[in-house]
Amino acid sequence: MKNTTLFLVGLLSLFISCKEKSKEVKNNESQGISLSIDYANGFSIKQYTNHTIITVTEAFPGAQKVFKYALIPRDSSGNNTDIELSNTLEETLKSQGVDAILKTPLNTVVVTSTTHIPSLEMLGVAETLKGFPNLDYISSPLSRKRIANKEIIDLGQNESLNTELTIELRPEAIISFGVEGENKSLNSVERAGIPVLYNGDWVEKDPLGKAEWIKFFGALYGKEREADSIFNHIKNNYNLIKEQIAAIENKPTVLSGGMFKDIWYLPKGDSWQAKVLEDAGGNYLWSETEGAGSIALSIESVLEKGQQADFWIAPGQYTSYAKLASDNPAYAQFDAFKNKKVYTFAKYKGETGGLLYYELAPNRPDLVLRDLAKILHPEMITEAFTFFDTLDE
Amino acid sequence: MNNNSYIPTFLILTLVLLVCILANLSLGSVAIPIQDVIASLVGSEVSKSSWEYIIVDYRLPKAITAIIAGSGLAVSGLLMQTLFRNPLAGPFVLGISSGASLGVALYILGGTALGLSTALLSGKWGLIIAASVGSFLVLLMVIGVATRVKDTMALLIIGLMVGSLTSAVVSVLAYFSKAEELQRFVFWSFGSLGDLSWNGVGILALCFAAGLVLSIASLKSLDSFLLGDAYAKTMGTRFSRSRLLIIIATSLLAGSITAFAGPIAFIGLAVPHLIRQVINTTRHIILLPAVIMGGAILMLICDTIAQVPFSEFTLPINAISAMVGAPVVIWLLVRKKKLLF
């Protein structure tokens, strides 16, 4: 009987102390500091005393669900070495319904889009990348070298991660793009206890907004400051070029995209491609179209509007005039084709055929802008091309 | 022939099924020694915890899904072949899978093509709910028609027409959608047995059980249907009620399987023919259990091949089922020189 009473009292005091501890955590809640996110609309980062919360508000177009990821530093200076406190913190965070709790900095990670890789490389944490679906898409020399050394394993083809291999690898986090619940293999690895984080960089409409997602990765590695300075460098570079160009009166007209079967797909007016074209001092002929995706048009309407365009930029995968003309005689009708003013990003390929543009362009809008400005106003830019080049004969 | 003479055949089928289950559980992208496979299943010590997770929480639900999908599709194929007295009928002749694919197409592609918002359905169950709603609406239509139409053959034609209609709408949606969305839709249409949660497997099993109970309840009327509508009526079969039961059983089976695993072609059409080649009877009390086992065996074999053991690649289950099954059916028919139907 005595023992039971003692036990109960002990239990009660434990309970009370737990309650007090969770109060402590709650008090810190109100004093979070928001990091500055100026261009991206899809996420925000808030730092608290013992943890950081990343909130992803637009993981995919039209997402209703807001995702919250809690980051707890592994051995932050001061009071987080107390295991009991960190457990209490985790309990509290779980009760607040966060979607994942991660210990930072991450040691092992799997990303699913090549656009995530430049962020890791710029932050100097490329060695944490352990797996990727379809390695052939990767073109950066640094990561290709790690693939050659068997440091990154192939997790299957296309969109679907190979569930068994991913569970066997057990990364501390998977950074995904896409729509929650639609990728069955992601649901499986999540059930296996591997946190899946949604990265919405591809949803951003602003070129700099896409690049700002480096801050998302910065938080995962406790490198918020580095991410901030890298982004500021990109931003300043971008704005400098934009200001240089803004003074120029002459704005050449621009046509973009190409045909698939008999439908011509080109970027809509609110897309980031259209925005960079405008900032590069171009007059994009479809800048009035609303929306951020691509628009499907008949060849007739494109010819009608774009035949006299001064430049034709990004005709899909084409790298030569001969191939363009042989695929569809209609292509040869455009003035830009006749005057050899077609520029493509399809010439810069990685060892295994992945296009550098698809991997690096969203991270480095400043370099895309510089390339486009060089095409449209060659007298303004002296540096060499990064992504674009003229077509071969 | 009395029922006892089929016992050896059923024993062999059971043995083959057990071997297939074990093979399916032991083979996959990650190489796991057979003793660890068995240890995970009986709950003893496994050398690596990730192996135990892969066996118990990934391969086991996948194997169960394969068994349910194979059996369910084979049973609904048998029901449809009997109902329409047509060897070309399969589980999807009434438009079940076209209904499901329309639901999924609206869910994935509708956002761009029609400006629909699918926010109501987002999250982990969105696809499954969209597919279920699609096939359920088609089912309601078919039942509405079935109560009006006396002739079973007319029903078959109407089912095919509904299929053409829905696939036409899907084509229009696909024409106006983005490449990524199209890819997501195409991936769904490849079918997949893996990656279901235990909850998902549970719901699927419930639908399967319900469909099976209805099929067993229809055993007697199925036998009389083989003799033609007119004869079935004279036998005292309550004609339209039994026909409705068979339609509902098929829809439950084929609809739930399509919702969870995508449209898996071929199995439902071929298994009844394969079984009739092995077991020469028209009595459904024998055919039904044989078809259940045959479907499960064929699906497990297909899934094992589709996993491409020990490589990071997997193949779409929908392609494998026909690749493996079609030559077998052709070979059997050529060898026997006649269709037993």
Cα–Cα distance, B269 to B73 (Å, whole number): 8
pLDDT digits (tens, 9 = 90+) for B192-227: 898 888 999 999 999 999 999 999 999 988 988 888
Cα–Cα distance, B64 to B296 (Å, whole number): 9
Q: Could you tell me the pLDDT band of residue A158, with boundaries at 50, 70 and 90?
A: low
Cα–Cα distance, A181 to A191 (Å, whole number): 12
- Residue B26, Ramachandran bin (φ over 0: left; ψ between -120 and 50: alpha; else beta): alpha
Cα–Cα distance, A53 to A267 (Å, whole number): 34
Which residue do the tokens 């109100």 mark? Answer: A30
Q: Report yes or no: A153 at the B interface, CB cutoff 8 Å.
A: yes
Q: Report yes or no: B196 at the A interface, CB cutoff 8 Å.
A: yes
Q: Could you tell me the pLDDT band of residue A67, with boundaries at 50, 70 and 90?
A: very high
Range name among A205-219, A313-327, A368-382, B129-143 with the lowest pLDDT average? B129-143
Q: Could you tell me the pLDDT band of residue A161, with boundaries at 50, 70 and 90?
A: confident
Residue A341 has pLDDT above 50, yes or no: yes
* Other CB atoms within 10 A of residue A30 CB: 7
Q: Could you tell me the pLDDT band of residue B138, with boundaries at 50, 70 and 90?
A: confident
* Contact in structure between A97 and A86 (CB atoms under 8 Å): no
β-sheet with A100-104: strand ranges across: A33-34, A43-47, A52-56, A67-73, A100-104
Contacts of B50 in chain A (CB under 8 A): 167-168, 170
Q: Report yes or no: B204 at the A interface, CB cutoff 8 Å.
A: no
Cα–Cα distance, A313 to A368 (Å, whole number): 12
Position A64 scores a pLDDT of 83
Nearest chain B Cα distance for residue A211, angstroms = 21
Question: What number is the average pLDDT over the span A304-319?
Answer: 94
Nearest chain B Cα distance for residue A144, angstroms = 19
- A164/B30 Cβ within 8 A: yes
Mean of pLDDT over chain B:
87
Contacts of B312 in chain A (CB under 8 A): 153-157, 162, 165
Contacts of B183 in chain A (CB under 8 A): 158-159
- A179/B184 Cβ within 8 A: yes
Contacts of B51 in chain A (CB under 8 A): 168
Q: Which residue of A has its CA nearest to B310?
A: A165
pLDDT digits (tens, 9 = 90+) for B266-297: 899 999 998 988 888 889 999 999 999 999 99
Residue type, A169: L
Which residue do the tokens 């997402």 mark? Answer: A63
Cα–Cα distance, B327 to B266 (Å, whole number): 12
pLDDT digits (tens, 9 = 90+) for A348-362: 998 898 899 999 999
Position A18 scores a pLDDT of 45
Q: Could you tell me the pLDDT band of residue B115, with boundaries at 50, 70 and 90?
A: low
Q: Which residue of B has its CA nearest to A162?
A: B312
Closest CB to B54 among A61, A159, A168 = A168
* Other CB atoms within 10 A of residue A219 CB: 23
Residue A3 has pLDDT above 80, yes or no: no
Residue A22 has pLDDT above 60, yes or no: no
β-sheet with A311-313: strand ranges across: A283-284, A253-256, A311-313, A342-344, A389-390
Choose, out of A60, A134, A184, A265, the residue to mutate when testing the contact with B (most B CBs < 10 Å): A184
Residue B336 has pLDDT above 80, yes or no: no
Question: What number is the average pLDDT over the span A89-98?
Answer: 89
Q: Which residue of A has its CA nearest to B262?
A: A184
pLDDT digits (tens, 9 = 90+) for B219-256: 988 988 888 777 777 766 677 888 889 999 999 999 99
Cα–Cα distance, A14 to B155 (Å, whole number): 70
Question: What number is the average pLDDT over the span A165-170?
Answer: 94
β-sheet with A294-298: strand ranges across: A258-260, A263-267, A294-298
Residue A165 has pLDDT above 90, yes or no: yes
Range name among A159-163, A198-202, A308-312 with the lowest pLDDT average? A159-163
Question: What number is the average pLDDT over the span B87-97?
Answer: 87
Q: Report yes or no: B184 at the A interface, CB cutoff 8 Å.
A: yes
Q: Report yes or no: A90 at the B interface, CB cutoff 8 Å.
A: no
Contacts of A185 in chain B (CB under 8 A): 194-195
Position A146 scores a pLDDT of 96
Question: What number is the average pLDDT over the span A200-206?
Answer: 92
Q: Beta partners for A56?
A: A43, A67
Residue bearing the bigger pLDDT, A306 or A9: A306
Residue bearing the bigger pLDDT, A112 or A19: A112
Strands A52-56 and A173-176, bridge-based pairing: unpaired
Position A27 scores a pLDDT of 46
Residue A202 has pLDDT above 60, yes or no: yes
Q: How many CB pairs under 8 A join A and B?
A: 91
- A181/B126 Cβ within 8 A: yes
Cβ-based neighbours of A376, under 8 Å, separated by 6 or more: A252, A254, A280, A281, A282, A311
The residue length of chain A stands at 393
Task: Output Rg (C-alpha) for chain B, integer angstroms.
Answer: 21
Closest alpha carbon to B298 in B271, B326, B276, B272: B271
Q: What DSSP letter does each residue of A301-332 carry, written as one string?
A: HHHHHHTT-SEEE--TT--BHHHHHHH-GGGG
Question: What number is the average pLDDT over the span A35-58?
Answer: 94
* Contact in structure between B247 and B143 (CB atoms under 8 Å): yes
Cα–Cα distance, B146 to B306 (Å, whole number): 38
- Residue A33, Ramachandran bin (φ over 0: left; ψ between -120 and 50: alpha; else beta): beta
Q: Report yes or no: B314 at the A interface, CB cutoff 8 Å.
A: yes
Contacts of B113 in chain A (CB under 8 A): none
Cβ-based neighbours of A79, under 8 Å, separated by 6 or more: A50, A85
Q: Report yes or no: B91 at the A interface, CB cutoff 8 Å.
A: no
Contacts of A191 in chain B (CB under 8 A): 57, 197
Closest alpha carbon to A154 in A141, A142, A168: A168
* Contact in structure between A262 and A355 (CB atoms under 8 Å): no
Position A1 scores a pLDDT of 44
Closest CB to A163 among B123, B194, B313 = B194
Cα–Cα distance, A68 to A174 (Å, whole number): 15
Q: Which residues of B175-193 are buried (b: 16+ CB within 10 A; e: fewer)?
A: eebbebbbebbebbbbbbb
Position B45 scores a pLDDT of 85
Contacts of A180 in chain B (CB under 8 A): 122-124
Closest CB to B124 among A154, A155, A187 = A187
Closest CB to A164 among B58, B119, B125 = B58
Q: What DSSP letter does each residue of A96-146 carry, written as one string?
A: TT-SEEEEES-S-EEE-SGGGHHHHHHTT-GGGEEEES-GGG---HHHHHH
Mean of pLDDT over chain A:
88
Stretch 247-266 of chain A: residues touching chain B, C-beta under 8 Å: none
Q: Could you tell me the pLDDT band of residue B113, with boundaries at 50, 70 and 90?
A: low
Residue bearing the bigger pLDDT, B192 or B63: B63
Closest CB to B50 among A168, A191, A293 = A168
Residue A186 has φ and ψ, to the nearest 5°, of -65, -40
Angle, CA B7 vertex, CA B1 and CA B11 arms, to 5°: 150
Residue A70 has φ and ψ, to the nearest 5°, of -100, 135
H/E stretch holding A160 reads none
Closest alpha carbon to A356 in A148, A174, A60, A143: A143
Position B123 scores a pLDDT of 66
Stretch 325-384 of chain A: residues touching chain B, C-beta under 8 Å: none
- B53/A187 Cβ within 8 A: no
Cα–Cα distance, A29 to B269 (Å, whole number): 61
Residue type, A185: S
Nearest chain A Cα distance for residue B46, angstroms = 14
Q: Which residue of A has its CA nearest to B27?
A: A164
Q: Which residues of B57-66 are buried (b: 16+ CB within 10 A; e: fewer)?
A: bbbbbbbbbb
Greatest mean pLDDT among A48-62, A333-347, B159-173 lies in A333-347
Q: Which residue of B has its CA nearest to A265?
A: B178
- A182/B127 Cβ within 8 A: yes
Q: Report yes or no: A62 at the B interface, CB cutoff 8 Å.
A: yes
